Structure 1
Amino acid sequence: MLSESVPTPYSLLPTPHPSKIMQARRIARELALLSISQLPAKQERLEEQDLQAVVVAAVRTLTSEAQDALESAAAELQQSSARLLNSEIRTTDVQSARSMVTEAISLTQTAINRLGVAMEVPEFIQLANQREVRSYTLEIIRSLKDNQQKLDQLLSQALVDWQLSRLAWIDRDILRIAVTEILFLGVPDRVAINEAVELAKRYSGDEGHRFINGVLRRVSDQLKAESTPKG
């Protein structure tokens, strides 16, 4: 079970090595992405959350995703099996059933990956600076929730032939976290974009990281254009 030590005034703690801070923040981004939908929206209740509560929320999200993927895979397999039984070996039906089986295998692999990550979460938290992880996780979530309208407006302007509300929740929240870091947490554009791409490679679809990269680069260009003096 994860637990935090007796609080020590932050100013009295040794300054972590920059590489440790980077590791903690990388984990914090991941926890923010996975726990944001499970944690309270009100700031005062959010501040009450300890690291264990955040980890539990993240694991619940991952296991729920895995369960949904497995249920979808089972439905695909049932449909493909019924199609094969009723096809009388018609070529088109066999090909359709084969496609459905392939999709079911893909969904099952996604579920396995989600469960694998869920089991990793407690371990990599133990290897990080827990105080820094909790602090930055809640800072991301608080800033995102407080400024979501502005974030969504910026992202909507940067989307081409897409609506923000139609994106998969994982892609939408990866984008929101990256822009939150750029606008409100002082993270350089390049760093925020690279970290978002890595999150997308871990959690999004096959082309998700390219999509995330393109949208965030347009947001970055848009922000730079707005800050450039006109004259």
Structure 2
Amino acid sequence: MATRTQARESVIGLLYAYDLGNEGIVKFVDEILEDKKIRNKQKEFALNLFNGVVNNYALINEHIALHLKQGTIKDIGSVEKSILRLAIYEILFETLDRAIIINEAIELSKRLASDGAPKFINGVLDKITKEA
């Protein structure tokens, strides 16, 4: 059975594809999660996260843009944006402890993103958490 971390990692992959312009991926989320062996409660969890991010995309992007020290959202790598979007959605709309959300985002960024991503993601999420 898949873990929540594996479910989040799959959601990040889906958000990455969505960010790159593959908006049609929304139609295939069930099949993609099934292929990755994300099933039952974890599939519900992943679907909730993916749909939540997509449905609140503009609001989440505003939060990212407001909390950047320099540059714009377009300057952030797609993987980093996907991790941020997922974590921001969880901070704003889910009941999980914020420290757990931030820690999970940092750990995922260590595995999936560039070397400087964990520090960058931590900084942005920390600012958002203080205001949310």
TM-score of the pair, normalised by structure 1: 0.50
Counterpart position of 1:24: 3
CA distance in 1, matches of 2:34, 2:23: 11
For structure 2, the residue ranges without an aligned partner over 5 or more in a row are none
Where in structure 2 are the equivalents of 1:76-225 lying within 5 Å? Answer: 122=36, 125=37, 130-223=39-132
Residue 39 of structure 1 deviates from its aligned partner by: 6.6
Inter-CA distance 167–55: structure 2 relative to 1 (3 Å threshold): farther
CA distance in 1, matches of 2:33, 2:39: 11
Alignment-mate amino acid for residue 53 of structure 1: I
Residue 135 of structure 1 deviates from its aligned partner by: 0.8
Q: Which secondary structure state, in structure 2, belongs to the residue aligned with residue 153 of structure 1?
A: helix
Q: Which secondary structure state, in structure 2, belongs to the residue aligned with residue 205 of structure 1?
A: coil
Counterpart position of 2:12: 33
Residue 205 of structure 1 deviates from its aligned partner by: 1.1
Number of aligned residue pairs: give it. 127
Inter-CA distance 41–145: structure 2 relative to 1 (3 Å threshold): farther
Contact 2:14 2:25 in 1 (8 A): no
Inter-CA distance 55–163: structure 2 relative to 1 (3 Å threshold): farther
CA distance in 2, matches of 1:39, 1:153: 19
- In our comparison, the structure showing a higher alpha carbon Rg is 1
